[in-house]
Amino acid sequence: MRLFAKKVRVLIIGDDGPILGKLRGRVELFWPEDVPMKLRALFCGWADEAIDGIKDFRPDVLLLNHVFQRDQQTGVDVARWVDAHYRTPIRVAVHADCSEAELRPLYRDIECVEHFICGESVPEFIRACTQEKDR
């Protein structure tokens, strides 16, 4: 047990309440007990809201939805903003209803996005974020 360890700030962004709740539950379930975490799930209908949420919460780990139902901008636009303006190293996973094969080409030029959560890949993403070499 580490006292006074910095909490990993995890932000989940989405525009669907039930999906936000499910992702939050999965992160809480699979997050290692020995890694302190502060978790926030944020409903965002627009990409600009997502960017504001990132600015305010300053996450170390971000689960970002790909499509915003009320906006023509997508997670690609938000991830480009992260690459251009977010100076702290950050782990980003994009979550969507479509397959990783469909998403990967859209994010190919974006540095911060290395993971895609399509289906049940939350545990793998959490392992990648919390391995000892990354802390």
Residue 51's contacts (CB-CB under 8 Å, 6 or more residues apart) are 78, 81
Domains of the chain are: 8-128 (3.40.50.2300)
Nearest CA among 21, 61, 54 for reference residue 38: 61
82-105: per-residue pLDDT in tens? 999 988 889 999 999 889 999 999
Q: Is the pLDDT of residue 134 over 90?
A: no
pLDDT at 72: 93
Which tens digit of pLDDT belongs to each residue from 26-44?
999 999 999 999 999 999 9
Extract the tokens encoding 75. 């997670």
